[in-house]
A and B are shown apart, each in its own frame.
Chain A
Amino acid sequence: MSGTNDFVIKFATVNGSGSASANTIFAKTLFRMGIPVSPKNIFPSNIQGLPTWYEVRVSEAGYMARRDGIDLMVAMNPQTYANDVAEVVSGGWLLYDSTMPRLWQRTDITVLGLPIAEICAKIWKDARQRQLFKNMVYVGALTALLDMDVKVLEGVVGDQLKGKEKLLAANMQAVAIGREYAEAHFECPLPIKVRHAEGAKGKIMVTGNEAAGLGAVYAGASVCAWYPITPSTSLAEGFEKHARRFRVTKDGKRNYAIVQAEDELAAIGIAIGGGWNGARSFTATSGPGISLMSEFLGLAYFAEIPVVLYNIQRGGPSTGMPTRTGQPDIISCAYASHGDTKHVLLFPSSPTECFSMSTDAFDLAERLQTPVMVMSDLDIGMNDWMTDPFTWDDNWVADRGKVLSREELEGFAKAKGRPWGRYQDVDGDAIPYRTLPGTHETMGAYFTRGTSHDENARYTEDGTIHARIVDRIRRKFDTAATLVPKPEVNIRDAGSRTGLIYFGATRPAVLEALDYLDRDGFKLNALRLKAFPFTEEVKAFCAAHDRIFVIEQNRDAQMRQLLMVEAEVPQEKLIATLNYDGTPMTADFVRQAVLKQLQPAKAQAAE
């Protein structure tokens, strides 16, 4: 599989050594050369000193899933040498700092020794510079080994150093040193190399969290509260970054309010307070935060308050794997809080969708007067993804839902044939009309509460009324099913009774696997879920297929369970296909899992 514009390179470095920016420069250079790249940051829960990796898949075909089998390992961390060298595929390459020469046990790979520490010690006196430029020296060596366009690289470095231009020359000097050493000592370029291509043209490279933060700015969010937690932190920071740019009035004041709360309880409380008072309001968190926010989510559900929550999922349970990815919060979010609760979930599968689904989320939250959770994850949220550029329709009008103005409130009884009551289902869609504080001197005031209430928001302990209210709120979920984004259905063979359901970050792996399975002789129809509640299309797809692989990244097949319970799909139809080791899913994993079921013998042979 490996060759020109088709390989995987992995950087093994030490956290806090400055390698992250060098690695980003490497990936961005290939991207600007037009080559599809997919970088994955594999980092520890640590700031300095522990091992960290950066994996870049290069694929002219545009396959952007993580791929196993490292063709070239840039091993810069002696701590992890043993494992790193073992990961290289037979026939692959290992580039390492040979200042201290090592004997490597493998004879089936080519070892490239680059005495980086020695070189840097000669040129730079300052210890920090020696450390930082080491990274650019190996990048320089790679430009020769992989035949990268140095002009493009210089442009990328220049962009990264905006405002610190004097560092550009020193960085490019380090690149030249590495390049010259490689040219003089190695056979350059390697058989795995790069060339200008078209696949990345017109795309952007961005993290899902920044995209979601930007999306919240575009959706008109003006109240944000959050508590730092990996991997969601950069979402609130992304919102702030773009709000600072786009939301400042002529007199320098801010058209947004953001508070770093004291904990997740306060973060969701603030977001709910803002939503109650008519601002588009949100918070961002991850698994442990969801647990803490659950009580408040029940309040917002029952008192019918719009709020948006971005859940950037990570490996659980408990603190779990804070810096590894997963999809383990499907059930805890779908049913968050005690009592009978059910929530609207959206599943973006790329940064582009993190942006566009932000608008959906705020519209749905206000239309339905309920919490809406955007279920991203660490892989989408924190890794740079090559993705379609953001688009915006200037004719878009925000759906602010049923909020009564002063005039509407005064004319309500006449227009609707009955007096206004906060929790009256006037339109038959189970969605009541709400008012905001300060609307009218004598009309529209009501008491919001988490205790049972009647249609006029008055406290009640009457069980009949309670049941009536919770039934209406459940019916609101039926309305939700008609409003949420429809799934992406890909029918490859109209006659096939075998299908596959997936969602979120597994999209690149699944799409690639479907191509391979085609070649294996299996045309699978596929459906990508974009939302919960499940729409009619989901039910129809399940009805039309006898065997459905449900691809997800958690142990308990949570989406499969949800399909069984909420879409009433017979469990024997649904084949759990699960990966939960914290790494982004690979196409090979999906392919093998499917083959195991469809053609056990072939799968065994392939293993």
Chain B
Amino acid sequence: MTYITKPLAHHPALPRNALGLTHRDYEGSMSTLCAGCGHDSITAAIIEACYEMDLPAHRIAKLSGIGCSSKTPTYFLGRSHGFNSVHGRMPSVTTGANMANKDLVYIGVSGDGDTASIGLGQFAHAVRRKLNMSYIVMNNGCYGLTKGQFSATNDKNSPSKKGEANPFDAIDLCQMAIQLGAGFVGRSFSGDKKQLIPLIKAAISYKGFAFLDVISPCVTFNNHPTSTKSFDYVRAHNLASENKLDYVEPKEEITVSYAEGETAAVTLHDGSKLLLNKLDGGHDFRDPDEAILTIRRNASKGQVATGLLYVNEAGEDLHDALDTTDRPLNEIPVAELCPGSKALEGVNARFR
């Protein structure tokens, strides 16, 4: 039995957000992942982001597929409905849920196996449909729950713990997402909370498909010195971090100051802003081609480009394409949806 509840008691002086909630109110049950797992840091970042954004947890739906990463929704937002679906199929379940109720915040959590292998098709089509969701991949380059097999995002030159070579090229999910039309694409590292939290906040605020590929080392199977998904490797090769980020709430004033010409502000759908301080050589993150080029150039040097890689501020989503009514479909009573007997007479007449 692996469900472990956390004690509810907490220090009375814990700070509260605008909803009067503490950090603890955004937590879930105890993690059952390995000690030191990168996924737990991402879980913590999601909790932090939602707390700081004053999001009512019950208006968030968290969905996942199967795998270590997909277990994490149990560990955050205990007041939200969660859905641990089938392997690689979180995108379709989220699509249906979103079609039924466009008003909730959808956070999808997946892994590199769940997204880049078994779920590649569903991932691609959720991107293409511009589903309004935040899609977070906890990317460790391996299958943790089945004990360390390579996943499709593991770099070709990165061997397994036992020293086996990986003969196949890695799939870069950020490049794919950009090519397929995702409106918001970022990459981060579970060990970089400062970058990750504003990215998660911005992804949630973004209307449309927001994709975050978060490298999250597997301490048990893929953290050896020769792995390119290890803590040490990513720390050492994350110099190409594209931008420093600050997330600004809709009503908040911009207080961060960067030297002129270095800062850009991305306005998100809910009025919030993401401030980016471009580092030397940072690319134009509104240009998808430059974004892809940046990822590729860095990868060829063994570096990992992180930060906000691409954004299209004119966010569109599936409901725009489907032209659905503003009211969530699941709130419209069946009596209102049913055309009734009078209309049926007309239908029958057409079939005579």
| Chain A residues proximal to chain B, CB less than 8 Å | 32, 203-206, 214, 217-223, 225, 242, 246-247, 249, 251-259, 261-263, 265-281, 295-296, 299, 389-394, 396-398, 400, 435-442, 444-451, 454, 458-462
Contacts and interface: CB of A to CB of B under 8 A. Distances in A.
Contact of B322 (A249, A257, A263): A257
A167 to B, nearest CB: 20
Interface string B307-351: 000000000001100111110011010111111110110011001
A257 B99 contact: yes
Contacts of B347: 214, 242, 390
Contacts, number: 237
A445 B77 CA distance: 10
Given A269-B95, A437-B81, A441-B79, A296 B330 contact: no
Contacts of B98: 273
A436 B324 CA distance: 20
A225 B100 CA distance: 12
B191 interface: no
B93 A276 contact: yes
Contacts of A445: 57-58, 78-82
B81 A446 contact: yes
Interface in B89-141: 89, 91-101, 103-104, 121-122, 124-125, 129
B256 interface: no
A449 B84 contact: yes
A235 B81 CA distance: 32
Contacts of A447: 73-74, 81-84
B329 A257 contact: yes
A67 B85 CA distance: 48
B250 interface: no
Nearest to A453: B3
Contacts of A281: 96, 100
B86 interface: yes
Contacts of B122: 262, 265-266, 269
A444 B79 CA distance: 8
Nearest to B82: A447
Interface in B233-267: none
Contact of A246 (B57, B97, B334, B343): B343
B56 interface: yes
14 contacts: A222-B100, A254-B323, A261-B125, A266-B92, A266-B125, A269-B89, A269-B93, A274-B99, A277-B97, A436-B101, A438-B59, A438-B81, A441-B56, A454-B3
Given A218-B339, A246-B343, A274-B100, 19 more contacts: A225-B95, A252-B323, A255-B337, A256-B324, A262-B124, A272-B96, A273-B93, A274-B96, A276-B83, A277-B330, A278-B330, A279-B101, A279-B329, A281-B100, A394-B340, A398-B334, A445-B57, A445-B78, A446-B82
Contact of A265 (B59, B89, B97, B324): B89
Contacts of B275: none
B58 A223 contact: no
A71 B343 CA distance: 41
B10 interface: no
A441 B81 CA distance: 11
A273 B97 contact: yes
Contacts of A221: 337
A440 B58 CA distance: 6
A204 B352 contact: yes
Nearest to A266: B92
Contact of A394 (B84, B91, B341): B341
Given A222-B332, A437-B81, A439-B58, A278 B96 contact: no
B2 interface: yes
A155 to B, nearest CB: 11
A100 to B, nearest CB: 40
Contact of B1 (A258, A274, A444, A461): A461
B323 A253 contact: yes
A459 B334 contact: no
Nearest to A436: B330
Contacts of B94: 273
Nearest to B319: A257
A393 B3 contact: no
Nearest to B61: A437
A357 to B, nearest CB: 16
B73 to A, nearest CB: 7
Contacts of A246: 339, 343
Contacts of A253: 323-326
A203 B349 CA distance: 10
Contacts of A214: 347
A291 B124 CA distance: 22
B83 A448 contact: yes
Contacts of B74: 447, 459
A257 B92 contact: no
Contacts of A269: 85-86, 89, 91-93, 95-96, 122
Contacts of A397: 335
A265 B348 CA distance: 35
A393 B339 CA distance: 11
Complex A-B, nearest 8 residue pairs according to Cβ-Cβ distance, in ascending order? A273-B96, A269-B92, A220-B334, A279-B100, A437-B81, A204-B351, A270-B96, A277-B100
A278 B104 CA distance: 13
A454 B79 CA distance: 18
Given A223-B100, A254-B324, A437-B61, A392 B341 contact: yes
Contact of A255 (B3, B58, B329): B329
A262 B323 CA distance: 20
Contacts of B91: 266, 269
Contacts of A459: 1-3, 74
A255 B325 contact: yes
A389 B129 CA distance: 39
Contacts of B73: 447
A445 B340 CA distance: 35
Contacts of B348: 204, 389-390
A13 to B, nearest CB: 24
Contact of B329 (A223, A299, A398, A451): A223
Contacts of A446: 81-82
B339 A296 contact: no
A488 to B, nearest CB: 23
A593 B351 CA distance: 36
B194 to A, nearest CB: 30
A32 B84 CA distance: 55
A224 B3 CA distance: 35
A259 B95 contact: yes
A391 B61 contact: no
Contacts of B97: 273-274, 276-277, 437
A259 B341 contact: no
A448 B84 contact: yes
A451 B70 CA distance: 12
B177 to A, nearest CB: 16
A268 B334 CA distance: 22
Contacts of B341: 391-394
Nearest to A362: B334
A460 B329 contact: no
Contacts of B80: 437, 445
Nearest to B332: A255
Interface string B146-186: 00000000000000000000000000000000000000000
Contacts of B96: 223, 225, 269-277, 281
